[in-house]
Amino acid sequence: MIDWERGTAEALPFPDCSFDAVVCQFGLMFFADRNKAVREMLRVMAPGGCCAVAVWDTLENAPAFAALVALLDRIAGNAAGDALRAPFVLGDRQALATLFSDAGAGSVNVATRQGTARFPSTREFVEAEIKGWLPVMGVTLPEPTINRILAKAENNLARYATPAGGLAFDISAHVVSSKKL
């Protein structure tokens, strides 16, 4: 059974030392106060507990997303491009390790994991980002702008097209792990 508790990452609604493990998958980059959120993760961990946090690598190490960001900047403006840049803001390994060390994490390890993102088509990848992700970030594009982006995306992302008509590209993420002493 799972009990859901409502709260914010910066003020977790749990007592000190409540959990043996704390996990955060691709959320840390969106917290209002990342330093406070990491301190909260550590606060609720029991001594000897483990913490694992995944964040995306830099945008420069995600060239398909970088190409889409450039296209958004050009056609829809910087607000749209910035919304798609947001998931990649914690990609600097050293800054990420420092964030955890400064919060009091012990034995901080940052490992980079490589993977391949796959989509049925370029259109489905781009639509997922501009119709799904951008509105979450407060950016809604008008249909004519979406259509212009989709028309240009096929060419801009052609190097990632698969023979079967899909889209595939390498992407990497960092996994921060630490133990509470």
| Full residue range of the structural domain in which residue 35 is found | 19-179
Assess if residue 85 is contained within a domain. Answer: yes
Using N-to-C axis directions, what is the helix angle for 143-156 and 63-76, rounded to 10°? 140
Assess if residue 171 is contained within a domain. Answer: yes
Assess if residue 2 is contained within a domain. Answer: no
- Output the pTM of the full model: 0.93
Assess if residue 3 is contained within a domain. Answer: no
Assess if residue 32 is contained within a domain. Answer: yes
CA-CA distance, 70 to 63, in Å (whole number)? 10
Q: Is the pLDDT of residue 1 over 90?
A: no
Tell me: the pLDDT tens digits for 35-62? 999 999 999 999 999 999 999 999 999 9
167-179 β-sheet, strand order: 19-25, 45-56, 167-179, 106-119
CATH code of the domain in which 81 resides: 3.40.50.150
Q: Is the pLDDT of residue 181 over 80?
A: no
- Tally of domains in the chain: 1
Assess if residue 127 is contained within a domain. Answer: yes
Q: Is the pLDDT of residue 103 over 90?
A: yes
User: Residues with Cβ < 8 Å from 32, sequence gap 6 or more?
Assistant: 8, 10
Assess if residue 9 is contained within a domain. Answer: no
Instruction: Name the DSSP letter for residue 165.
Output: S
Average pLDDT on 16-23 reads: 96
Q: How many CB atoms lie within 10 A of CB 161?
A: 15
CA-CA distance, 25 to 108, in Å (whole number)? 17
Assess if residue 117 is contained within a domain. Answer: yes
Q: Is the pLDDT of residue 124 over 90?
A: yes
Average pLDDT on 18-41 reads: 96
